[in-house]
């Protein structure tokens, strides 16, 4: 009761307190990335900040000639897309199975959540040993399989959140109108959970794109992007790595800004026009 005014009441300091905490968290999150972005404009080979008058795009021009980096990026994108394409429908199927269960639902959910806690080194090493026993050679397929095991629990949880917004009486109404189970799912459930499916796909893609531990044990001759960047850092990082980090940061902010801009325009277009009330006595 004593903490309630601080947490919930805007007039007693709750809003400024949470605003300060939010700003501090954002600074901590984005400061390393912005530092790399500014350092990538340094024309020297040593990492560090320089005066704005010395800013240069030298390392960005050199980045375009780094074929090994782009090959590893291509490998990571292929693996991430394959992982997301597989993990999204499998996660949805598991979420639907959870909703249809009448017994052992708690155990099922516990097993799913526990899979998130398996260390990547153990999972990658164990899967590598199993695949070696069955004669499967390391390639982007084995990396995709390892990333699929890593991303599935997350896509299942996201799908469960999306399905929680679907009311059972909505499905019952569709069934009463003559729709079968598949028709009701396609016409009613699927449109309602479309947002969560997109989130599952993006979540799986990003988790796979940034995964290092599992790829280390499962990769073939071609490195993924995290493996290449880690190796470049250990061998004396080239400034092109900083330029690549800066380019990714700028591209990420541009994509997010575009998404928010389009969402704002769509929301503004969907709002009905309001007409001012006519004054009494006027027609």
pLDDT tens digit string along 72-112? Answer: 888 999 999 999 999 999 999 999 888 888 888 888 888 88
Q: pLDDT category, 158, cuts 50, 70, 90?
A: very high
* pTM attached to this predicted model: 0.78
Of 106 and 13, the one with more pLDDT: 106
The ranges assigned to domains in the chain are 4-59, 67-237
Output 167 or 163, whichever has higher pLDDT. Answer: 163
First to last CA, the chain: 56
Cα separation, 229 vs 69, in Å, equals 8
151-164 average pLDDT score: 91
Of the pLDDT bands very low, low, confident and very high (cuts 50, 70, 90), residue 12 is low
Give the pLDDT confidence score for residue 100 in this predicted structure: 83
What one-character DSSP code corresponds to residue 53? G
d(CA 133, CA 126): 11
Mean pLDDT in residue range 242-270: 81
CA 268 to chain centre: 27
Mean pLDDT of 63-78: 87
User: What's the rounded mean pLDDT across residues 44-72?
Assistant: 84
pLDDT band at 6 (very low <50, low <70, confident <90, very high): very low
Instruction: Give residue 271's pLDDT band: very low, low, confident or very high (50, 70, 90).
Output: low
Mean pLDDT, rounded, for 41-50: 80
Q: For tokens 């400024």, what's the residue?
A: 16
pLDDT given for residue 147 in this prediction: 93
Q: Residue 1's pLDDT band (boundaries 50, 70, 90)?
A: very low
pLDDT greater than 70 at residue 191: yes
136: left (phi over 0), alpha (psi -120 to 50) or beta: beta
Residue 186, pLDDT above cutoff 90: no
Judge residue 115's burial from the number of C-beta atoms within 10 Å of its C-beta, 0-12 exposed, 13-18 middle, 19 or more buried.
middle
Using alpha carbons only, what angle is made at residue 80 by residues 113 and 245, rounded to the nearest 5 degrees? Answer: 105
Q: What's the pLDDT tens digit per position in 227-240?
A: 888 877 776 667 78
Which of the residue ranges 37-46, 120-129, 166-175 has the most confident prediction, judged by mean pLDDT? Answer: 120-129
Instruction: Specify the pLDDT at position 61.
Output: 86
Which is nearest to 83 in space by CA: 194, 196, 206, 220? 206
The structural architecture, per CATH, of the domain 67-237 is: Orthogonal Bundle (1.10)
**Is the pLDDT at 127 greater than 70, yes or no?**
yes
Q: What is the mean pLDDT of residues 46-57?
A: 82
Three-class HEC string of 3-16: CHHHHHCHHHCHHH
Q: Which two tokens stand for residue 34?
A: 């912005």
- Res 4 pLDDT > 70: no
Q: Which range, of 147-156, 171-180, 213-222, averages the lowest pLDDT?
A: 171-180
């Amino acid at each position: 009761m004593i903490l309630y005014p601080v947490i919930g009441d805007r007039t007693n300091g709750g809003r400024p307190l949470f605003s300060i905490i939010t700003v501090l968290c954002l600074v901590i999150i984005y400061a390393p990335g912005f530092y790399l972005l500014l350092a990538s404009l340094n024309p020297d080979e040593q990492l560090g900040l320089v005066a704005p008058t010395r800013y240069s795009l030298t390392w960005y021009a050199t980045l375009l000639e780094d074929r090994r980096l782009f090959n590893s990026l291509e490998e990571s994108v292929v693996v991430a897309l394959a992982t997301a394409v597989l993990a999204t429908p499998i996660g949805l199927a598991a979420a639907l199975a959870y909703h249809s269960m009448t017994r052992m639902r708690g155990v099922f959910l516990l097993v799913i959540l526990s899979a998130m806690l398996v260390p990547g080194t153990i999972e990658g090493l164990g899967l590598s040993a199993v695949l070696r026993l069955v004669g499967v050679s390391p390639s982007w397929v084995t990396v995709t399989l390892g990333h699929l095991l890593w991303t599935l629990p997350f896509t299942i949880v996201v799908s469960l959140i999306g399905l929680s917004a679907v009311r059972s009486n909505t499905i019952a109404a569709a069934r009463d109108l003559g729709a079968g189970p598949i028709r009701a799912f396609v016409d009613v459930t699927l449109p309602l959970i479309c947002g969560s499916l997109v989130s599952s796909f993006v979540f799986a893609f990003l988790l796979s794109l940034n995964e290092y531990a599992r790829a280390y044990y499962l990769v073939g001759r071609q490195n993924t992007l995290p493996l290449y960047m880690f190796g470049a850092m250990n061998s004396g990082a080239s400034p092109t790595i900083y330029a690549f980090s800066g380019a990714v940061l700028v591209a990420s902010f541009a994509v997010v800004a575009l998404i928010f801009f389009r969402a704002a325009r769509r929301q503004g277009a969907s709002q009905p026009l309001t007409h001012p009330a006519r004054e009494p006595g006027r027609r």
